[in-house]
Structure 1
Amino acid sequence: MNFSKVKFPAVAAFALTVGVTVSGGVAHASEDKTDATLDAYAAGYISNFVCSAVFNAASNTADNVPSVNKTLEQITEHELTGIYDVVETRIHDLLEQGALTIDDDTRSVAVAYASDSAAQGMPPRLSVWRPALGCVDLPVGAEAEAAAHVDGLMGDLATTQHPATDSGEPWQTHADLNGTSGNAELDQVVESAFSDHYGSGARTSAVLIASPKEILSEHYLDGFTPTTSQRTWSVAKSIGASVVGAAVQQDLVDVNDEAGLAAWSHPADPRQRITLQHLLHMSSGLDSNQAGNRTDRIYIGGGTVADEAVGNSLESIPGQRWKYANNDTMLALRSLRERFESVQDYLAFPFTAVLHKIGMRHTYLEADWQGDFILSSQVWTTSRDLARLGVLHLQQGQWNGEQILPQDWLQYVSTPSPAQPPTPNSRGDVVPGYGAQWWLFNDRISGIPDDTIAARGNRGQFLIIVPGEDLVIVRRGYDIAGEPGFDEIQFTRDVLAALGK
């Protein structure tokens, strides 16, 4: 299918959200931006999500060029609903105007905008796909020629085929795809996950339940397969922590060391006291706006980690305050980057050190145009790849006899950080605890083993690990903002009960 210069169908309604629900409530915040900037944000939102949905979420042919297997209607329904209210109306308008161009040859998406007089003559927002790295957003005002100057992976990593099928490893046995598990009670729980049973706003796209040796149940929404990538949102933070863990295993970093960013190296700069562990614990003390999960300029504005995250000042003593902040995750990875001699070495590291070793061959780690991973959110991956990451943790960081993460890494990320999320939150809901880029379903959450940890992301993305039961639970979705989302805690309770745990 040729998507060039195609007009999306009009979208009847867009659900509203402001950001990731990290503590049971939506973080209400807005930025004081001009119309020209908000138009650029809206165009960037479309270009980024459509580029990723078309090229990351596709099957791959033998020459490593994705062939689209998602329709325009699917992309509109799945990716462009439940979005930021800051740009929702503008996105609706741009789609109706037919401002979108998808180019199969260059694997890029351009979105024209200029409704505000100040933006007249500005070039379209552009997102360009790269093997393994997914889509990169060019900065606002960049012409198409700028794409030639964006770093990508070289050598084998740039040419290695992303398989058209999933190997099914490391699991020795697999439940029938979209079929029965042989456990009627478990089948009923999974079936309920694809209804509104666990939340009126829940829209489930995949459920996978596995041990290290067996996939117990695996179900997908119509049109989805084991190789269909989907955005992880903040589940990416736990993937990022795993990349840091691999660096610890290779003695590249120590979590107790100062983050050591060059931009913070002046003797008068108090940010020198921020350690890598502070960043992993979400306790850097840095100013990250009222809602730390709002980093619009990086996510949809073509901004960079170096410009937007590195320059923030302290507002609290490092280690003293817990605050959920995308910037802390991005800075943890920026700290790792500054240990490498070249951006190429850094971009290759997550794939050579972790992902490809454990078979995560359908995972795309998106980066900004200066080569910094945006591992607070912008990862596209499959349910099986997430389950593989869970199995790696269950196996104490070991895979096929190789120690990829430190042997005590699961214990480390599962240990409550000194500063914890407040509970209950402002709505009166109980909030899970927090470790190192993982949420902890510890004694705060009843009916679930205290050793349970979870990676949690916007729109109902969940990777749940229950070490004592040797169990991994993955749920993917497109939950509607403003309505009760998928209740992963009750779902976990029901899965455990069905398995007799």
Structure 2
Amino acid sequence: MKSNVSGLFEILILVSINFQTKSMKLVKRILLLLILIIGVVVYLNFPKLNIISGYAAKNMASGVFVANRTAASLAENDNNVPLIELAETEVDVKQKWASASVYGLMNRKALYREGLGTVLVNDDYDESKSITSPVRNQLTDTIPYPYGQASPKDSTFSEIDTQQLDKAIATAFGNPEVQKTRTLLILYKGHLLVEKYADGFTKDTRILGWSMTKSVLATCFGILEHQGKLEMEWPAPITEWKKDDRKEITLNHLLRMQSGLEWDEDYSKISDVTRMLFLDSDMSRPQKEKALIAKPTEIWNYSSGTTNLLSGILRQQFRSHQEYLDFPYATFIDKIGMYSMVLEADIVGNYVGSSYAWASTRDWARFGQLYLDKGKWNGEQIFDSKWVNYITKPTQHSDGTYGAHFWLNANGKYPDVPRDLFSCNGYQGQYVFVIPSKDLVVVRTGLAENPEFDVNKFLSEVVKSVQ
């Protein structure tokens, strides 16, 4: 009996050892497979690592040092998107920089520069070089918001259906995991009608406009035209183009994105736009160096490179870098009280007009009100009223969706919204909508756009509230 028990015990030990051996082999195989999978993922995405870590570092630095948000909130929300979430970030509050890398690879660093926001640095960046910053002119007044810095008036309008308006607000903030609305503000006839903020955001929180910045940059050209210093039909002042067919490209062609120049605006891969935003020192150059793929006006091709080329052209209009930096602030940004706005610049000091303007929701609304009022602000004509007609004229081949650095509803992209709507649109659903027929300016910011955030449904409900 004892021998049987002993034999059985030995068998159990052998089975256990065999099982453990097989288990260890299985674990090793699983680990090896995981390593291979990670290796394949890294190999396939290695060219993107520079972009991933660059985006993460830049977004983190600007979020902390321009928007005054916490690194934890930015990591959990803004940088928690496919691929970007792979990056690990570090922030130095004292030295004012943020860095990011992916599995320890492709470390990128973004530095804060007073008055110019943050910039991704590379081997071209010289930290010892003095930095020129824009001069700001911030005044106090007793004029109610939006035309001044005082508190907005308590205004009621008999023609506003408040229940319907509440429904629109609920639509904007409903299902926060999908809609991801952060801020909402509505002006009606120059009065604050609605203002609502998600947790962590206030009336003073700066919001990155992304491509809404394009409309800000374009406004500078409207002001120069109003001052009689240039005309939209002038040939673009690019020396390199004078010897070939690109000499036919005008400022108008550039503002309407119909220059015919080659450009790849694809953010899902290494492309013209991602190389420009996350690798180039001088962002005014990439579009300048592109060849024609069509004659001007033959095609419409949305291009952030075109806007940054225009920023470089804007710089050429001034005798000094200081004058260029001061111009947007002195002529309209500070003049209409958009004191929170910060235009970020590239390494060589060009405003990144395609993407990097920050401002509070209230100040983005001021910008919309300036356009609703056709350029007149507290009695002063900032730009000619005809400029609004110009930027809202549909550009050929855009299917009525684009004017001159502003988006349009001319062909009913939003079918239940007035056709005279025009807007500034930015990545992840940043919007300044201007609806002249309803005397409305609507600002919505967040982390989702169509179809997750149904623009047509939201705006139609806002419009229905105006009887």
How would you bin the TM-score normalised by the shorter chain? 0.7 to 0.9
Contact 1:44 1:126 in 2 (8 A): yes
Give SS of 1:208's match: strand
Corresponding residue of 1:378 = 356
Deviation at 1:39, TM superposition (A): 2.6
Corresponding residue of 1:40 = 50
Corresponding residue of 2:207 = 230
Corresponding residue of 2:168 = 189
1:132-190 Cα deviation digits (max 9, x unpaired):
32112212x357xx233364315x43xx6799xx98342774569xxxx9812212210
Deviation at 1:40, TM superposition (A): 2.4
Alignment of 1:23-422 (within 5 A): 37-58=47-68, 70-82=69-81, 88=83, 91-95=84-88, 100-111=89-100, 124-139=107-122, 141=123, 146-149=126-129, 151-153=131-133, 156-157=135-136, 168-170=145-147, 173-174=152-153, 183-196=162-175, 201-265=178-242, 268-289=243-264, 291=266, 295-417=273-395, 419-422=396-399
CA distance in structure 2 between the aligned counterparts of 1:398 and 1:325, rounded to whole angstroms:
30
* Paired residue type of 2:163: A
Corresponding residue of 2:31 = none
CA distance in structure 1 between the aligned counterparts of 2:138 and 2:411, rounded to whole angstroms:
44
Contact 1:248 1:255 in 2 (8 A): yes
Deviation at 1:469, TM superposition (A): 1.7
Corresponding residue of 1:435 = 403
Give SS of 1:149's match: coil
Give SS of 2:252's match: helix
CA distance in structure 2 between the aligned counterparts of 1:374 and 1:131, rounded to whole angstroms:
16
Corresponding residue of 1:449 = 418
Contact 2:62 2:112 in 1 (8 A): yes
Deviation at 1:236, TM superposition (A): 1.2
CA distance in structure 1 between the aligned counterparts of 2:73 and 2:447, rounded to whole angstroms:
11
Greater Rg over alpha carbons, structure: 2
CA distance in structure 2 between the aligned counterparts of 1:80 and 1:175, rounded to whole angstroms:
38
Corresponding residue of 2:442 = 473
* Paired residue type of 1:195: G
Give SS of 2:334's match: helix
Pick closer, same or farther for the CA change 1:107–1:251 going to 2, 3 Å: farther
Deviation at 1:291, TM superposition (A): 4.0
Q: Which blocks of at least 5 consecutive residues in structure 1 are unaligned? A: 1-32, 59-69, 423-431
Give SS of 1:201's match: helix
CA distance in structure 1 between the aligned counterparts of 2:426 and 2:139, rounded to whole angstroms:
25
Deviation at 1:112, TM superposition (A): 5.0
Deviation at 1:393, TM superposition (A): 1.0
Q: TM-score, normalised by structure 2?
A: 0.81
* Paired residue type of 1:469: K
Corresponding residue of 1:27 = none
Q: TM-score, normalised by structure 1?
A: 0.76
Pick closer, same or farther for the CA change 1:299–1:110 going to 2, 3 Å: same
Give SS of 2:192's match: strand
CA distance in structure 2 between the aligned counterparts of 1:362 and 1:201, rounded to whole angstroms:
29
* Paired residue type of 1:467: P
Corresponding residue of 1:30 = none
Deviation at 1:255, TM superposition (A): 1.0
Give SS of 1:217's match: strand
1:305-335 Cα deviation digits (max 9, x unpaired):
2442221111110111111111122222222
Contact 2:161 2:466 in 1 (8 A): no
Contact 2:79 2:85 in 1 (8 A): no
Pick closer, same or farther for the CA change 1:112–1:291 going to 2, 3 Å: closer
CA distance in structure 1 between the aligned counterparts of 2:230 and 2:340, rounded to whole angstroms:
27
Identity of paired residues, percent?
29
Deviation at 1:211, TM superposition (A): 2.5
CA distance in structure 2 between the aligned counterparts of 1:434 and 1:367, rounded to whole angstroms:
26
Q: Which blocks of at least 5 consecutive residues in structure 2 are unaligned? A: 1-42
Contact 1:108 1:127 in 2 (8 A): yes
Deviation at 1:402, TM superposition (A): 1.5
Matched residue count: 413
Deviation at 1:194, TM superposition (A): 0.7
Deviation at 1:113, TM superposition (A): 6.2
Contact 1:232 1:379 in 2 (8 A): yes
Contact 2:184 2:445 in 1 (8 A): yes
Deviation at 1:300, TM superposition (A): 2.0
Structure with greater proportional helix content: 2
CA distance in structure 2 between the aligned counterparts of 1:290 and 1:410, rounded to whole angstroms:
26
Corresponding residue of 1:497 = 464
CA distance in structure 2 between the aligned counterparts of 1:217 and 1:294, rounded to whole angstroms:
39
RMSD: 2.8
1:215-270 Cα deviation digits (max 9, x unpaired):
000000011111101111111111111122122222232111011123323xx222
CA distance in structure 1 between the aligned counterparts of 2:139 and 2:131, rounded to whole angstroms:
20
